[in-house]
């Protein structure tokens, strides 16, 4: 993954909202995980339907998808909390 830096700066109400939002969006899109989808709510938790419960293959696919979902969700929460904590500093992601 490429290394990049972005100085997001402090959110100053409506004064710098468009710029701040744009920089945070770039940060999320530039992450290795699917953080943007996790933050904006388009990442959906997988569901195992009643029809698929008996199928070994369907359960294995569900477990794999659920594990990936939890990895992305956890990374998004941790990374976004770091953004909130370090918002006034230069943020570096490798």
From residue 94, give the alpha-carbon distance in Å to each of 2, 6, 42: 7, 12, 24
Domain range for 67 is 4-93
Q: How many domains does the chain have?
A: 1
pLDDT of residue 63: 93
Q: Which two tokens stand for residue 43?
A: 């990442």
Is the model's pLDDT at 92 over the cut of 90?
A: no
pLDDT of residue 22: 87
pLDDT of residue 44: 92
**This prediction's pTM:** 0.60
Higher pLDDT, 57 or 89: 57
Rounded distance between C-alpha atoms, residue 40 and residue 34, angstroms: 11
> Which alpha helices (DSSP H) does the chain contain, by range?
17-29, 35-40, 56-85
Average pLDDT over residues 75-85: 66
Backbone phi, psi, residue 93, to 5°: -125, 135
Give the confidence band of 15 by pLDDT, cuts at 50, 70, 90. Answer: confident
Rounded distance between C-alpha atoms, residue 91 and residue 94, angstroms: 10
């Amino acid at each position: 993954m490429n290394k990049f830096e972005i100085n997001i700066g402090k959110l100053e109400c409506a004064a710098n909202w468009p710029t701040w939002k744009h920089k945070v969006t770039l940060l999320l899109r530039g992450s290795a995980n699917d953080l943007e989808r996790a933050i904006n709510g388009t990442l959906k938790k997988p569901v195992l339907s009643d029809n698929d419960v008996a199928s070994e293959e369907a359960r294995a696919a569900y477990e794999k998808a659920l594990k990936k979902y939890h990895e992305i969700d956890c990374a998004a929460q941790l990374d976004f909390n770091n953004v909130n904590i370090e918002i006034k500093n230069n943020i570096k992601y490798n």
